C-alpha cells in the first residue's frame, strides 16, 4: 500500500484565510468619492497604501493629456484621418493609473481601446494611431517598448502576457506584465486559460479588466452571473480585487500593490475596475440603440479627472496656474498631433511582401514581381 | 549512422537542440514525466530538467499563446499538440497571432517556435485522433508547414524547424512513428523547400508527403509489374513549396498523380495539381490526377482502410493517365455512380 495518499490540491482550500485572501472586497475599493473627498476606510481593510503625491499629480496630468488625445482622435476620425477609433473617454483613471504603476521595462499588453495607455507609456501618438489610421498594423516596436501590438482578437493577448512574464522571470529579471482586457472579453476562453497558466507558473502578471459596462451593445448582465468579474480569480487561485475605476487614486493604489506583489514573486493578480465608456463603442457605433442618455449623464458626474483634480486642489497639490499649464500642454499635444496627422502618410505597396517570413517564399517573390509590374504599368499610364 | 524509428529520431533532434541552444524549451500536455503519449519527448525532463521540458495545464490555446509570450522573452519554444484534432482550440492563436506576428509588427516580433502535431490516421485511432489538418495551416500566410516521411528527414527537418526564424507547424505522420531508417546523429538541419526524389522513374511522377510517401513508393513498385516506371517525389515541406523539383520531374515524365491522405476537396493536393498544371501544361500528356482520402469525416477505425488512399487507388489513377491516347471520359458522365 502507498504510504500516504497524495493531496489532490496543492493547498488546502479550507485552510483558514486562503479563500478570503483570494476574494475581492465586497464593494469596489474607493479612496476618493465622486465629489473629490477622501473616503475614510475606503481601502476595504486591505491596507492598500495611498500613492505618493508625486505619482498622483503625474497621473492627473497624464489623464488630462490622455482625455485631450482621445477627443482629438475622435475628431480625426470625423475628418477621415483615422479608419476607426475606439474611444476610452471616461476610462482615463484605468488606462493612466494602470500604466503609472509600471516601470518602463515592465510589459503591457493592450487592446484596441487602450490608446491612452500607450501614450502614457510615452509611445509617440502618431505611432500609437498607426493601426487606426490604417497605414500598418502597428506603428511602434513592441520589443523595444515592451508593449505588445494592440490586440483585437479578444482575450488572446493575456496568454502572451503570461508567457512573457514567465520567460522574463526565468531569465532572472523582475519585470512584470500587465494585460488589459474588457468586461465582455472575460467570457472568452483565453481569459480563463491565461489566468490558469499565470497561476500554475506563478507568472508575474497583473490582469486588469476595464469593466466599462458594455461589450459593444451587450451589457454585462448578459455576460456573466458572477457577483463581480473579480470573483473569476478565485477558481484559479489568483487573488483579485475590484476597484472604483473612475477613482485614479484607488486604481493606482491597487495596481501598485498587485505589481509589487508580482515583482516580489507573489504571482498573478486580477483587478476589475468599474468604469464607463462615455462614447459609443467606436465612431461607427450608435450607442443610442442600446442605452439611455440618462445613463451617460449619470456617469458624467463621476468623471475621473474632475475627481482627482478636486482632491489635489483640496490638498494644495495643484492650483489654478497648474491646471492652466496642464490644459495648455494637453492642447499643444492635440494640436501637434492634428498637424502631424494631416500629412498624408506614404505607404509603400512593395512593403506588403516584407515580414511575411524572414525570407520571402518563391510565391512571394513571384507576387512581388507581379505587383511591381502592375505599379509600373499604372505609372506609365498616368504619364 | 544509427538505425532509429521516426519517434526516436524526433526525440534525438529535440535532445540535440536542447543541448546546443539554451533557449530551446519543450512543453505541452503530458510531455514531461510521461514523455508524451507517443513518447517523442521521452526522458527530456529526466535528463534536462523541468526547466527545459515541462507539462502545462490542459489547454491548447494557452499552450500556443504561452509560447508566443516566451518568444517575446527570447525563447525558442517547441510545443506539442497531443493529436491533430486537439489543435483546433489553438487555431485562433495560430492563425491570428503565430502566423501574423512578424508581419503585423513590421518584423519587430519574431516567433521562432515549433508546433508539433502527431497527425493523420492509419493506427486504428477512434474519432478525433486521425485528422490531416495540414491544409488549414498551409492556407495561412506566415506559417511554414513541414511533414517528414523518414526518420532521417524527421531529424533534419525538426532541427531546421527549431533553428528557423519563422513559426513552423510540424506535422508528424503518426503511422510512421515506428518506421525505421538510418539517421546521422548528431546531424545537420535539413533546409526547407527542397523536395526529395525518393525513386527515379521515366513514365509518371507521384507527388506525396508525410504518410502518403510509403504508399506512393509501394504503388511505384507494384506499377513496375504493369510496365510503368514511376518516379516518386516527397515534398518534405508544403510551405515553402519546392516548385523546381516538382516541375522538373513532371516535365520529364509528362504525367502526374498527387497522393495525399487528407480529404481531397480544397486540400494540399489541389494546390499541388494546380501548380503542376500552371508550370508543366505543355509537357503534360494527361490531366494531373489527385488521389486522396474521401471527402467524409475521418471514419471509425474498422473502416479507415476504406478511407485511406492505398496502393490500388494510386494504381487506378496511374492507369487513367491516357496511356493509349483515349481521353478519360469519367468527368463527362455526371450520373457516374448514380442510377445510370
Ligand atoms: C474573438 C473576438 N470576437 C469578437 C470580436 C469583435 N469585438 C470587438 S470589440 C467587442 C466587444 C468587446 O467588449 P469588451 O471586452 O467589454 O471591451 P470594450 O470594447 O468594451 O473595451 C467585440 C465583440 C473580436 N474583436 N474578437
Ligand atoms: Mg466593455
Q: Which of B149, B183, B217 is the last residue of a domain?
A: B183
Task: Calculate what percentage of chain B has a pLDDT beyond 90.
Answer: 94
Residue of chain B with shortest Cα separation from A140 = B105
Residue B272 belongs to what domain range? 196-319
Task: Calculate what percentage of chain B has a pLDDT beyond 70.
Answer: 97
Strand ranges, E, within chain A: 107-109, 177-182, 205-211, 214-215, 218-219, 240-244, 269-274
Name the band, by pLDDT with cuts 50, 70 and 90, for residue B338: very low
Residue range A221-250: mean pLDDT, rounded: 97
Instruction: Note the pLDDT tens digit of each residue in B85-98.
Output: 999 999 999 999 99
- Residue A183 beta carbon below 6 angstroms from any ligand 1 atom: yes
Q: Are strands B2-5 and B180-183 parallel, antiparallel or unpaired?
A: antiparallel
Q: Are residues B155 and B242 in the same domain?
A: no
- Residue A182 beta carbon below 6 angstroms from any ligand 1 atom: yes
* A290 counts as catalytic: yes
Q: Are residues B143 and B76 in the same domain?
A: yes
Q: Determine contact, residues A107/A148, Cβ cutoff 8 Å.
A: yes
Number of Cα atoms under 13 Å in the Cβ half of residue A169? 23
For the CA atoms of chain B, what is the radius of gyration?
20
The answer for residues whose C-beta is within 8 angstroms of residue A362's C-beta and 6 or more apart is B193, B240, B241, B243
Rounded distance, CA A279 to CA B292, Å? 54
Q: Residue A112 C-alpha to ligand 1 middle, in angstroms?
A: 9
Instruction: Note the pLDDT tens digit of each residue in B149-181.
Output: 999 999 999 999 999 999 999 999 999 999 999
Residue range B201-229: mean pLDDT, rounded: 97
Q: Are residues B250 and B144 in the same domain?
A: no
Q: Are residues B94 and B124 in the same domain?
A: yes
Q: Are residues B27 and B174 in the same domain?
A: yes
Residue range B45-61: mean pLDDT, rounded: 98
Q: Are strands B237-239 and B204-208 parallel, antiparallel or unpaired?
A: unpaired
Residue B290 pLDDT exceeds 60: yes
Q: Are residues B115 and B206 in the same domain?
A: no
Rounded distance, CA A177 to CA A198, Å? 11
H or E element at residue B220: helix B212-226
Name the band, by pLDDT with cuts 50, 70 and 90, for residue A1: very low
Q: B228: helix, coil or strand?
A: coil
A318 touching B (Cβ < 8 Å): no
H or E element at residue B116: strand B114-119
Of A17-31, B42-56, B141-155, B199-213, the one with minimum mean pLDDT is A17-31
Q: Are residues B231 and B167 in the same domain?
A: no
A319 touching B (Cβ < 8 Å): no
- Residue A185 beta carbon below 6 angstroms from any ligand 1 atom: yes
How many domains is chain B partitioned into structurally?
Answer: 2
How far, CA to CA in Å, does A47 sit from each of A41, A44, A55?
9, 7, 18
Q: Determine contact, residues B119/B131, Cβ cutoff 8 Å.
A: yes
When CB atoms are compared, the residue of B59, B104, B240 closest to A196 is B59
Q: Which of B183, B209, B243 is the last residue of a domain?
A: B183
Instruction: Note the pLDDT tens digit of each residue in A73-84.
Output: 999 999 999 999
Which class for A297: exposed (0-12), middle (13-18), buried (19 or more C-beta within 10 A)?
exposed
- Residue A152 beta carbon below 6 angstroms from any ligand 1 atom: yes
Q: Determine contact, residues A132/A99, Cβ cutoff 8 Å.
A: no
User: Residue B332: its pLDDT value, please?
Assistant: 66
The pLDDT mean for chain B works out to 96
Residue of chain B with shortest Cα separation from A158 = B65
Q: Are residues B87 and B157 in the same domain?
A: yes
The residue with cell 495551416 is B137
Chain-chain contact of A356 with B56 (C-beta, under 8 angstroms): no
Q: Are strands B76-80 and B114-119 parallel, antiparallel or unpaired?
A: parallel
The residue with cell 494510386 is B314
Q: Residue B211 C-alpha to ligand 1 middle, in angstroms?
A: 41
Q: Determine contact, residues A261/A282, Cβ cutoff 8 Å.
A: no
Task: Calculate what percentage of chain A has a pLDDT beyond 90.
Answer: 90
Instruction: Note the pLDDT tens digit of each residue in A330-370.
Output: 999 999 999 999 988 889 999 999 999 999 999 999 999 99
Nearest to B13 by CA among B23, B24, B91: B24
Q: Are residues B13 and B159 in the same domain?
A: yes
Instruction: Note the pLDDT tens digit of each residue in A129-183.
Output: 999 999 999 999 999 999 999 999 999 999 999 999 999 999 999 999 999 999 9
CATH of the domain at B303: 3.40.50.920
Rounded distance, CA A121 to CA A133, Å? 20
Q: Which of B183, B205, B233 is the last residue of a domain?
A: B183
Set of chain B residues whose Cβ sits within 8 Å of the Cβ of A168: 73
User: Residue A218: its pLDDT value, please?
Assistant: 97
Rounded distance, CA A302 to CA A276, Å? 9
Name the band, by pLDDT with cuts 50, 70 and 90, for residue B340: very low
User: Residue A383: its pLDDT value, please?
Assistant: 85
Asked, for residue B75, whether it belongs to a domain, the answer is: yes
Asked, for residue B329, whether it belongs to a domain, the answer is: no
Residue A5 pLDDT exceeds 90: no
Residue A24 pLDDT exceeds 90: yes
Cell of A6: 497524495
Asked, for residue B271, whether it belongs to a domain, the answer is: yes
Instruction: Note the pLDDT tens digit of each residue in B230-285.
Output: 999 999 999 999 999 999 999 999 999 999 999 999 999 999 999 999 999 999 99
> Which of the two residues, A21 and A116, has the higher pLDDT score?
A116
Asked, for residue B188, whether it belongs to a domain, the answer is: no
Residue from A290, A291, A313, A322 carrying the catalytic annotation:
A290
Asked, for residue B62, whether it belongs to a domain, the answer is: yes
ipTM of the complex: 0.94
Residue of chain A with shortest Cα separation from B54 = A201
Name the band, by pLDDT with cuts 50, 70 and 90, for residue A20: confident
> Which of the two residues, B238 and A40, has the higher pLDDT score?
B238
Residue range A233-250: mean pLDDT, rounded: 97
Q: Determine contact, residues A115/A70, Cβ cutoff 8 Å.
A: yes
Asked, for residue B327, whether it belongs to a domain, the answer is: no
Strand ranges, E, within B141-266: 144-146, 168-173, 180-183, 196-199, 204-208, 230-234, 237-239, 256-263
Q: B25: helix, coil or strand?
A: strand
User: Residue A220: its pLDDT value, please?
Assistant: 97
Q: B54: helix, coil or strand?
A: strand
Other C-beta atoms closer than 10 Å to the C-beta of B281 total 9
Which class for A307: exposed (0-12), middle (13-18), buried (19 or more C-beta within 10 A)?
buried
How far, CA to CA in Å, does A107 sit from each of A118, A224, B72, B202?
11, 29, 10, 59
Instruction: Note the pLDDT tens digit of each residue in A208-231.
Output: 999 999 999 999 999 999 999 999
Q: Are residues B205 and B121 in the same domain?
A: no
Which class for B57: exposed (0-12), middle (13-18), buried (19 or more C-beta within 10 A)?
middle
How far, CA to CA in Å, does A53 sit from each of A80, A180, A249, A316, A369?
40, 25, 10, 10, 60
Residue A120 pLDDT exceeds 70: yes
H or E element at residue B4: strand B2-5
B248 touching A (Cβ < 8 Å): no
H or E element at residue A21: helix A18-22
CATH of the domain at B115: 3.40.50.970
How far, CA to CA in Å, does B99 sit from each of A381, B64, B277?
37, 12, 28
Cell of B77: 519554444
Asked, for residue B332, whether it belongs to a domain, the answer is: no
Q: Are residues B260 and B282 in the same domain?
A: yes
User: Residue A344: its pLDDT value, please?
Assistant: 85
The residue with cell 486504428 is B124
When CB atoms are compared, the residue of A167, A200, A358 closest to B74 is A167
Name the band, by pLDDT with cuts 50, 70 and 90, for residue B335: low
As beta bridge partners, residue A242 has: A272
For an interface test with B, give the residue of A6, A107, A151, A193 to mutate (most B CBs within 10 A).
A193
Residues 129-188 of chain A with CB under 8 A from chain B are: 136-138, 141-144, 148-149, 153, 156, 158-168, 170-171, 177
Instruction: Note the pLDDT tens digit of each residue in A313-323.
Output: 999 999 999 99
User: Residue A41: its pLDDT value, please?
Assistant: 77
Residue range B210-234: mean pLDDT, rounded: 97
Nearest to B16 by CA among B186, B191, B148: B186
- Residue A317 beta carbon below 6 angstroms from any ligand 1 atom: no
Residue of chain A with shortest Cα separation from B112 = A358
How far, CA to CA in Å, does B198 sit from each of B9, B209, B288, B308, B335?
19, 11, 20, 21, 39
Between helix A92-100 and helix A248-263 the angle, nearest 10°, is 30
Q: Determine contact, residues B257/B317, Cβ cutoff 8 Å.
A: yes
Substitution site in A117, A182, A276 for ligand 1 pocket (most atoms within 8 Å of beta carbon): A182
Backbone angles phi, psi at A367, to 5 degrees: -70, -35
Residue B217 pLDDT exceeds 70: yes
User: Residue A15: its pLDDT value, please?
Assistant: 66
Q: Are residues B155 and B284 in the same domain?
A: no
Name the band, by pLDDT with cuts 50, 70 and 90, for residue A13: low
Amino acid at each position: 500500500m502507498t504510504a500516504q495518499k497524495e493531496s489532490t490540491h496543492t493547498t488546502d482550500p479550507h485552510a483558514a484565510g486562503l479563500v478570503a485572501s483570494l476574494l475581492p472586497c465586497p464593494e469596489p475599493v474607493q479612496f476618493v468619492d465622486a465629489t473629490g473627498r477622501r473616503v475614510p476606510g475606503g481601502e476595504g481593510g486591505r491596507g492598500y497604501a495611498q500613492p505618493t503625491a508625486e505619482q498622483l499629480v503625474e497621473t492627473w496630468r497624464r489623464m488630462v493629456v490622455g482625455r485631450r488625445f482621445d477627443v482629438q482622435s475622435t475628431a480625426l476620425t470625423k475628418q477621415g484621418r483615422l479608419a476607426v477609433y475606439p474611444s476610452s473617454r471616461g476610462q482615463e483613471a484605468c488606462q493612466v493609473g494602470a500604466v503609472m504603476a509600471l516601470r518602463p521595462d515592465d510589459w503591457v499588453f493592450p487592446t484596441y481601446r487602450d490608446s491612452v495607455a500607450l501614450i502614457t507609456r510615452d509611445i509617440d501618438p502618431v505611432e500609437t494611431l498607426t493601426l487606426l489610421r490604417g497605414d500598418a498594423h502597428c506603428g511602434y516596436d513592441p520589443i523595444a517598448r515592451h508593449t505588445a501590438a494592440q490586440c483585437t482578437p479578444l482575450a488572446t493577448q493575456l496568454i502572451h502576457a503570461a508567457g512573457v512574464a514567465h520567460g522574463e522571470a526565468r531569465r532572472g529579471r523582475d519585470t512584470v506584465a500587465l494585460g488589459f482586457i474588457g468586461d465582455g472579453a472575460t467570457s472568452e476562453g483565453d481569459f480563463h486559460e491565461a489566468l490558469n497558466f499565470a497561476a500554475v507558473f506563478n507568472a508575474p502578471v497583473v490582469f486588469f479588466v476595464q469593466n466599462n459596462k458594455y461589450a459593444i451593445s451587450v451589457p454585462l448582465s448578459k455576460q456573466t452571473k458572477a457577483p463581480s468579474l473579480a470573483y473569476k480569480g478565485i477558481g484559479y487561485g489568483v487573488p483579485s480585487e475590484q476597484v472604483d475605476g473612475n477613482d485614479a487614486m484607488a486604481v493606482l493604489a491597487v495596481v501598485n500593490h498587485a505589481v509589487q506583489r508580482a515583482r516580489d514573486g507573489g504571482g498573478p493578480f486580477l483587478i476589475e475596475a468599474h468604469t464607463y465608456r462615455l462614447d459609443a463603442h467606436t465612431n461607427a457605433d450608435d450607442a443610442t440603440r442600446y442605452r439611455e442618455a440618462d445613463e451617460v449623464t449619470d456617469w458624467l458626474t463621476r468623471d475621473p479627472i474632475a475627481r482627482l483634480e478636486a482632491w489635489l486642489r483640496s490638498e494644495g497639490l495643484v492650483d489654478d496656474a497648474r491646471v492652466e499649464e496642464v490644459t495648455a500642454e494637453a492642447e499643444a499635444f492635440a494640436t501637434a498631433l492634428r498637424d502631424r496627422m494631416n500629412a498624408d502618410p506614404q505607404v509603400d505597396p512593395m512593403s506588403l511582401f516584407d515580414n511575411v517570413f524572414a525570407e520571402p517564399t518563391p510565391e512571394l517573390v513571384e507576387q512581388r514581381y507581379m505587383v511591381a509590374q502592375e505599379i509600373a504599368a499604372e505609372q506609365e499610364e498616368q504619364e | 549512422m544509427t538505425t532509429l524509428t521516426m519517434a526516436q529520431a524526433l526525440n534525438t533532434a529535440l535532445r540535440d537542440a536542447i543541448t546546443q541552444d539554451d533557449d530551446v524549451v519543450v512543453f505541452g500536455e503530458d510531455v514531461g514525466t510521461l514523455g508524451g503519449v507517443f513518447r517523442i519527448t521521452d526522458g527530456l525532463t529526466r535528463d534536462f530538467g523541468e526547466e527545459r521540458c515541462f507539462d502545462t495545464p490542459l489547454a491548447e490555446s494557452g499552450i500556443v499563446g504561452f509560447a508566443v509570450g516566451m518568444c517575446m522573452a527570447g525563447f525558442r519554444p517547441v510545443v506539442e499538440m497531443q493529436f491533430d484534432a486537439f489543435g483546433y482550440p489553438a487555431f485562433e492563436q495560430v492563425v491570428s497571432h503565430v502566423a501574423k506576428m512578424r508581419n503585423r509588427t513590421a518584423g519587430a516580433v519574431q516567433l521562432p517556435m515549433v508546433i508539433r502535431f502527431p497527425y493523420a490516421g492509419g493506427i486504428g485511432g477512434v474519432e478525433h485522433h486521425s485528422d490531416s489538418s495540414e491544409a488549414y495551416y498551409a492556407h495561412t500566410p506566415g506559417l511554414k508547414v513541414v511533414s517528414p516521411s523518414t526518420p532521417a528527414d524527421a531529424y533534419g527537418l525538426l532541427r531546421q524547424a527549431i533553428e528557423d526564424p519563422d513559426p513552423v507547424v510540424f506535422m508528424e505522420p503518426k503511422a510512421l512513428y515506428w518506421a525505421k531508417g538510418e539517421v546521422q546523429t548528431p546531424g545537420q538541419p535539413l533546409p526547407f523547400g527542397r523536395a526529395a526524389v525518393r525513386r527515379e522513374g521515366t513514365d509518371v511522377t507521384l507527388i506525396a508527403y508525410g504518410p502518403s510517401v510509403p504508399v506512393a513508393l509501394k504503388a511505384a513498385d507494384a506499377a513496375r509489374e504493369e510496365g510503368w516506371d514511376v518516379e516518386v517525389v516527397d515534398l518534405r515541406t508544403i510551405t515553402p513549396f519546392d516548385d523546381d523539383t516538382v516541375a522538373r520531374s513532371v516535365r520529364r515524365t509528362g504525367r502526374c498523380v498527387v497522393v495525399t491522405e487528407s480529404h481531397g476537396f480544397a486540400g494540399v493536393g489541389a494546390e499541388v495539381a494546380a501548380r503542376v498544371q500552371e508550370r508543366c501544361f505543355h509537357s503534360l500528356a494527361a490531366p494531373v490526377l489527385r488521389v486522396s482520402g474521401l471527402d467524409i469525416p475521418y471514419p471509425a477505425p474498422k473502416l479507415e482502410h476504406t478511407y485511406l488512399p492505398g496502393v490500388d487507388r494510386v494504381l487506378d489513377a496511374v492507369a487513367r493517365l491516357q496511356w493509349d491516347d483515349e481521353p478519360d471520359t469519367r468527368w463527362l458522365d455526371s450520373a457516374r455512380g448514380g442510377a445510370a
